Amino acid sequence: MAQSLNGGDMRSSSSEIRPLREAVFRFVAGGGGASGAAAAEIAASRLWTDAASLANRWSVLPPFNRRLAACGVEVPESFWPVFRTLATNAFVRSALQARKGIDVLRAFQQRGIPAAGFKGLASMALLWGGPEQRTIQDVDVLVAERDLDGSLALLASLGFRPLVGGEFADYEAFVRRSPGFSGNAEITLYDGERCGIDLHWRLGAGLSVEGILARSSQVELLGAPVRVVALEDGLALCVHHMLRNGFSPDKGLRDLLDAEEWIELALRREALDRTLELTAGSGLSGPLLATTVVLAGLNPGSPAAVMNSRLATSITPSERAAAGRLASLFLLQVREGSLNSDLLYLLRPNDLKRIASAFFSGWRRHREIMQSAEIELEGATRPLPSRLAALLCSVARVRRRHLRMLRALARAKDAAA
């Protein structure tokens, strides 16, 4: 059985078989030739339904559908009912979330609180045109820290409640002491329809919230005006999100596809220099180069390959080597599944300090909040004994080349913190 850095069995289901992961990745993200070859592999294995299920878990059903049409793939009749159900559910949910995000941002504007949508909502509005082409699970909204109290009060008046109950001061302490936030500060709130708003007030990575809000502008989405971040910020925030998620395709393949579109838009609008300057100022040049390495490997003639050439001449050889390791880490996780994120804490002393601070200062409340988040995001809590056992198992499987990749990821996170 295939084993991975996360210590898990990567053949727990047919759609997690290593060759299928690679084939679906190349089918969705590759160019015409790569997608066609991947389609032939999936067809030969007779796993189209499993491929669609994996694309659904990766939140890339729209590009999966586009590739089906472009490649002229013949699939079994039994595939279509499953695919249409998955695609319809994803579209309906995304459309509902987008509409709710538009309404929320309009309310912020009416209240006089500067705010902008970013990540999924911005990508949907500026790159893809609507929920038919880009799915979202929630809406990310950015506000200045000085407006946090007013923002929370406004969202409460609209029926949104935090995922985690109790005192907000406890939650703020949890954010500061949780390595997974990587300098980002956010809180998730839901309304009665289970529509989610991720409210952010700090971003890390040298990303200026004030600057991003100042550069934001109104565009049209679903026939209504909505304020979203600018092009150059969209790419930087996309790469930052990939970095926060450990360059894992399970959480970041949609970001990779967005990055390709942000780069193409920057070239089309002659905004490449401005975009590169902002990304470099945020400490994200290395992760951006890694992103373009992956994209250029899939599509050598793509706009990402142009940006790759530009970036490669502007950073040091050691930074290029580190970016190459990040790209290799992404591709490793395509094949074998996401690494155990706890591994990274062993390579980042500041993360261990944060964990120690939480343990010795209000650990019970910290653990309660962590468990609430785990239940919401993963459907179950992760008991500490099993978590430690999984970490030890992962450590035992780490090879020297894996360790170099993990160190590159740790350093990139430190540089962007």
pLDDT class for 383, splitting at 50, 70, 90?
confident
The secondary structure of residue 128, as a DSSP letter, is I
Q: Specify the long-range contacts of residues 369-372, CB closer than 8 Å, at least 24 apart.
A: 369/164, 369/166, 369/170, 369/171, 369/174, 370/174, 370/178, 372/163, 372/164, 372/165
Mean pLDDT of 271-287: 90
pLDDT class for 2, splitting at 50, 70, 90?
very low
Q: Which residue has the higher pLDDT, 313 or 96?
A: 96
Residue 83 confidence (pLDDT):
97
Highest mean pLDDT: which range of 230-234, 347-351, 380-384: 230-234
pLDDT class for 74, splitting at 50, 70, 90?
confident
Mean pLDDT of 395-413: 89
Q: Is the pTM of this model over 0.75?
A: yes
Mean pLDDT of 15-26: 83
Taking alpha carbons only, the member of 135, 154, 132, 133 closest to residue 143 is: 154
Residue 3 confidence (pLDDT):
38
CB of 143 closer than 8 Å to CB of 114: yes
First vs last C-alpha separation in the chain: 37
Rounded to 5°, angle at Cα 94 from 266 and 267: 5
Cα–Cα distance measured from residue 130 to residue 69, given in angstroms and rounded to the nearest whole number: 19
Tell me what percent of the residues of the chain surpass a pLDDT of 90. Answer: 66
Cα–Cα distance measured from residue 337 to residue 293, given in angstroms and rounded to the nearest whole number: 20
Q: Which of 56-70, 116-130, 342-356 has the lowest mean pLDDT?
A: 342-356
Residue 13 confidence (pLDDT):
41
Cα–Cα distance measured from residue 391 to residue 215, given in angstroms and rounded to the nearest whole number: 42
Residue 8 confidence (pLDDT):
39
Q: Which residue has the tokens 């950073």?
A: 315
Q: Which residue has the higher pLDDT, 10 or 269?
A: 269
Q: What is the dihedral of CA 277, 279, 283, 284, to 10 degrees?
A: -140
List all residues 6 or more positions away from 237 whose beta carbon is below 8 Å from its beta carbon: 118, 119, 122, 203, 207, 212, 229
Cα–Cα distance measured from residue 66 to residue 379, given in angstroms and rounded to the nearest whole number: 31
Give the chain's mean pLDDT.
89
